Structure 1
Amino acid sequence: MTDEEIAAASAADPDAQPMTAEQLRSARRVPRVKTLRRALGLTQEEFATRYHIPLGTLRDWEQGRSEPDQPARAYLRAIAGDPVAVSRALESAPR
């Protein structure tokens, strides 16, 4: 198929219509936690252990059952910004 034929076929498919601006605004976002964890090359267990996040909480975030609250989102941004520094800080913190 040519590019034009592909575009025409997809536009004719009622199940593959582009989202409206309103639909995009209200759409549930794919959790970025999974993307971050995978980018670091860690399993769920490794990520949860390294960053002191309960494994069940991490799984809930990744599977969309719940979303990180504001402090957790800030923590995840810190991990994304410098995962080694966050891990090092947690290793040296008293428990």
Structure 2
Amino acid sequence: MVSTLERLGVAVGFPHPPVSIDVKAIRAKLGVTQKEFAVQFRFDVDSVQNWEQGRYQPDSPTRILLKVIEQHPEAVEDVLG
């Protein structure tokens, strides 16, 4: 099925989440501990530790959220209240 945008000659694509993300660098940039980072952004502390130690990679939606936190932490804090 061809979308209206495609019929008008507008390229349609979907952005891809980052393949990997450096959670430790994001956290360090914010100047917080693993526990503070987890509490501030509602992550499980064990998950933050596992991501930073390379045991697990965050899933796609989480990588997108982490990228937003990296660039605009205040926006996520506003949403989380």
Scaled by the length of structure 1, what TM-score is found? 0.62
Matched, 1:88 2:78: yes
Q: Percent identity?
A: 40
Q: Tell me how far apart the structure 2 counterparts of residues 44 and 59 of structure 1 sit (CA, whole Å).
A: 7
Q: Tell me how far apart the structure 1 counterparts of residues 41 and 77 of structure 2 sit (CA, whole Å).
A: 6
Superposition misfits of 4+ residues, deviation over 3 angstroms: none
Q: Which runs of 5+ in 2 are unaligned?
A: 1-19
Partner of 1:36: 26
Q: Tell me how far apart the structure 2 counterparts of residues 73 and 38 of structure 1 sit (CA, whole Å).
A: 17
Q: Tell me how far apart the structure 1 counterparts of residues 75 and 56 of structure 2 sit (CA, whole Å).
A: 27
1:21-80 alpha-carbon deviations (Å, 9 max, x no partner):
xxxxxxxx7x50000000000100100000000000000000001001101100101111
Q: Tell me how far apart the structure 2 counterparts of residues 88 and 46 of structure 1 sit (CA, whole Å).
A: 17
Matched, 1:67 2:57: yes
Q: What is the count of residue pairs matched by the alignment?
A: 62
Q: State the structure with more CA Rg.
A: 1
Partner of 2:66: 76
Scaled by the length of structure 2, what TM-score is found? 0.72
